[in-house]
Amino acid sequence: MTATSTASTTTYETKSGVRPWVDVDTPSKAQTHKSSRGDTWTLVMSDEFNVEGRSFDAGSDHLWTAIDKPDGVNAALEIYYPNMTGTACDDDDNCYFYIESDIHETNLTVWNEYISPPGYEDVTFYYRSAMVQGWNKFCFQGGLVTVRTQLPGAVSNASGNPDVETGSTSVRATNIDYYPTWPGIWLMGNLGRAIFTGSTARMWPFSYNECNDTIFDSQNQRISACDDNPGSGMNPNQGRGAPEIDILEGGGTAISSSIQVGPGMPDQFRQIADNSSAYCLYSYDCTSTGANNQDVPTKYYWNLRGHKSWYQGLRYAANNLCDVEKDDIQSFATINASLTKGITENACTMDLCPGSYDVNADLGLKDNGTVRWGINTNGTCFPKQNAYTGAYLCNAGNTASECTQSGGSTSSGSEFEYQMDAISSNWEVHMAAYLDWVTYSLEWVMGDSGYIRWEVEGQVIFEIPAEAVTNPPQDTAQMNPKKLMVEEPMYFIFNVALASSWGSKPPNAGSDGCYGDGSDNKTNAICDSFPMYMKIDYIRVYQDVSEGSSMAVGCDPSTHPTKQWIEDNIDDYQDDDNLVVEVWGMAFCNSDDDCTISTTGSSAVRTGTCNSDKRCECSSDSWTGPRCTTTASNEDGDNLYGPPIIVALIIAAIACVVTFCTVLYKVTQAKRNGIRMRDQAVKMEHAKQVQAVGVESVDDGVKAAKDPHSNTNHV
């Protein structure tokens, strides 16, 4: 019997052979995937979203939990509701996950620690949307993620969006006003739960395992390498945190792909700030010398510092699915000559700098081919280094000058202030991102020789080599913190936000509801385009499962435990509207063999069954996991739930002949099934009602299948 273990559990192979987190509907051709380096990796998790009417309320799904909470970051304008997300199918039986974003004004009284004195204040939220998390359910360390999605936008003919006039999916998105939402598909370390600030303060986005208070004050990191006895199941002298990886974030005319890590670089390694404007760097028109791009002008920076600035050797490449712009075509010879000579201008242009405007980028041959990183050879969409490079985070009430300027985070019971870094690229998108399905990929390899790589439809657009993170530029005092390549167990988050602080924002953001006074025709057309939908066709994760691989599945690995910490600090991870509910079973199945361990001979037992909803039901509390194949490890003593495997088999065999216990169990299960079937029926009825109001969208005269969540349905 094959088994794998984490710090607190042991998982056994299913009788059918399906992996615990793999959807039984995933096609056979998608069971493996080639990495960018040519290795064949194995599917370890998938969700095809092929069953309509799924509920993501707490406790209702093995993979996902929908949040019931106002968004509290980035000047948010929306409240997240569980009923704004689900699964649906169009008339051609193409099924998908969706998040609906709509206009809905809500007035709340909330506690604000950042006003003086702290107290309650009235806040108006103008929209409702959804955030769905896989927190503390499915986590993984390293692998390749593929996700096929469609982004929200005002893209119907009635919207007046000039980007859709031709019907072309290769034209660039250029009119930002018609993309008022901020969608995200991203990952965070399991020690932090997104938008639960008690869990993320002094935890997000650390990826740091050094103890040197001269370089970085360890009290700013909640679980520090300086701590000999951190408690709560943490390993001694191991720095921990909740770093972030954004597969895609934001919409509009460019999508951001990034990692967010801490501690951030000190000021002497960052871009020089402009004396008069905090925002001029986004348009490259700052007047202060050196304020538009790192290490530009070349000699000015070098004479001032004597070392390089920011992260070195980042890799940028073209999205060749876009139409060509001749003015964007570059040659390596021209750019290399410019960099060799040194740039004297105060800002990058396409004639002076790599296409990314990152003068420290890798310009070597891409993937051992003939095309170079960093050079926009074809004049297609090309990622730019993101001008947003991070934030300074502080506890409420901290009066340090940088804290006063930044706002910061909420307190976790201790004063703190620290810089976090966003290593990020913004890449222009073609209209297929809004009008069609597009596949985005993330490839993450841990360790000092690892990398994180982003692709769109199989074309690489951005790659961060581990050395950029682990070996940053240094001054003579060696004061730049050396971070770890991201290695925490990470979970998925899907959300669509709306805010007044981004370039992609709804009309009248920050001052009024969407329509304002209703007098502007363009505004009215955009607002009439709500509700808008982000849709996901599938998400799949592949890993190197060969012997010796460091890639792993699980939220509580012995190398990076999280279970005991979360249990000991549970109030940081939940509130009255978002209580943590454990889920047993619930993975989709075709037969009982998908929901039970593989045993042989007379000791064969069922640890779970496939119920009438085609979801796994566990036979007792001794068996957990999505397919009822996980039990407590017998190596960790009384602190863990469930018996060892041999004891469990004996108990199961005895239970088979105890009639009273069997009847009692079946009555209990019947009640559970009744509740779940009722909830499923309500959800299915809602899906049918939404389906009934779907209208036919027309594209180039071709009749499309009715889709209840189409962004092109508005008339």
> What does the pLDDT read at residue 10?
87
Which pLDDT score is estimated for 251? Answer: 78
pTM, rounded to two decimals? 0.90
What's the alpha-carbon Rg for the chain, to the nearest Å?
A: 26
Q: What is the pLDDT of residues 301-337, one digit of tens each?
A: 999 999 999 999 999 999 999 999 999 999 999 999 9
The domains of the chain are located at 272-309+324-379
Q: What is the mean pLDDT of residues 359-376?
A: 98
Q: Does pLDDT of 385 surpass 90?
A: yes
Pick from 24-38, 244-258, 687-701: least confident: 687-701
Q: Which residues of 401-410 are buried (b: 16+ CB within 10 A; e: fewer)?
A: eebeebebbb
Query: What mean pLDDT do residues 690-697 have?
Result: 36
Mean pLDDT, to the nearest integer, of 427-449? 97
**Whether the predicted pLDDT of 645 surpasses 70:** no
Banded model confidence at residue 498, pLDDT cuts 50, 70, 90 = very high
Q: Hey, how many other C-beta atoms are within 10 angstroms of the C-beta on 68?
A: 18
Q: What is the pLDDT of residue 365?
A: 98
> How do residues 204-250 score in pLDDT, each as one tens digit?
999 999 999 999 999 999 999 999 999 999 999 999 999 999 999 98
pLDDT digits (tens, 9 = 90+) for 94-127: 999 999 999 999 999 888 877 777 888 899 999 9
The region, left, alpha or beta by phi > 0 then psi within -120 to 50, assigned to residue 413 is left
Segment 667-680 shows an average pLDDT of: 42
Q: Average the pLDDT over 57-68 and give the result.
A: 98
Q: What is the mean pLDDT of residues 352-359?
A: 99
* pLDDT score for 604: 67
- The per-residue pLDDT for 52 is 96
Q: What DSSP line would sit under 536-583, residue for residue?
A: EEEEEEEE--STT---EE-SS-TTS--HHHHHHTGGGS--TTS-----
Query: Is 397's pLDDT higher than 50?
Result: yes
Q: What's the whole-number average pLDDT of the chain?
A: 89
**In the chain, % of residues over pLDDT 90:** 77
Mean pLDDT throughout 255-280?
96
At 503, is the pLDDT very low, low, confident or very high (cuts 50, 70, 90)? Answer: confident
Average pLDDT over residues 269-294: 96
DSSP calls for 462-508: EEEEHHHHHS----TT--S--PPPP-S-EEEEEEEE-BSSSSS--TT
Residue 658 has pLDDT above 60, yes or no: no
Band of residue 665 on the pLDDT scale cut at 50, 70, 90: very low
Q: Which residue in the block uniquely carries the two structure tokens 């703190």? A: 416
Residue 173 has a pLDDT of: 96
**Which of 60-69, 388-397, 463-472, 551-560 is least confident?**
388-397
